[in-house]
Amino acid sequence: PHIIECAKAEAGEDQGACHLPSKKRFSALGQKGATLWMTGCSGAGKTTIATALEKRLVKEYGKH
Model confidence over 36-54: pLDDT tens digits? 899 999 999 999 999 999 8
CB atoms within 10 A of CB 1: 5
| Dist. CA 37–CA 29, nearest whole Å | 22
- The per-residue pLDDT for 59 is 85
Q: What is the pTM of this model?
A: 0.52
Beta strands in the chain (DSSP E): none
| Dist. CA 22–CA 24, nearest whole Å | 6
- The per-residue pLDDT for 37 is 92
